Amino acid sequence: MVVSDAEELEVGDPVEVAVENAVRKAQAVAAEEPVLGVDTVVVLDAAIYGKPADDAEARATLERLSGRVHEVVSGLAVVEGGTVRTASATTRVTFRDLDAATLDWYLATEEWRERAGGYAIQGRGAALVAGIEGDYLNVVGLPVQALLELLPGILQPPV
């Protein structure tokens, strides 16, 4: 895995932003093989929440998500030679009502760092979630169903 230093968009239509960021990430990596770029954003009331910069921003984001339904949008891009193929996935996530003690506990874990929306559903962040509609793996960060549609031969052994 190579982490791209591509500049990421933070405003616009959430699906377009996630897909464009995925394209930028994939194009920033020089490779002879196909390159997969993925970007995930959290959306509430048409506002995009990426990775919080610090504890205060993480708290503010989680307070906004508390007791509400938000969307997790992922963009995928495969760059191979001069060809770019893209896909996206959206999952609706409902948060529990989060009291101050729960927020303090979660923020202290520091699991929110480098996580879109300031939480990781596959870890302790599962305690913040009341339910989801859609692809759980999308919320984790890689929508496998969308990936398989984008690269249907990925499960086949190489020839």
pTM of the complete model: 0.91
- Active-site annotation, residues: 39
Residue 2 has pLDDT above 70, yes or no: no
Query: What's the mean pLDDT in 44-73?
Result: 96
pLDDT in tens, 59-85: 999 999 999 999 999 999 999 888 999
Domains of the chain by residue range: 14-148
pLDDT in tens, 109-126: 999 999 999 999 999 999
- Looking at the domain that runs over 14-148, which CATH code has it been given? 3.90.950.10
Q: Quote the mean pLDDT of the chain.
A: 93
Long-range contacts of 140-145 (CB under 8 A, 24+ apart): 141/38, 141/40, 141/74, 141/116, 142/38, 142/74, 143/74, 143/76, 143/87, 143/89, 143/91, 145/89
What pLDDT, on the 0 to 100 scale, is given for residue 1? 64
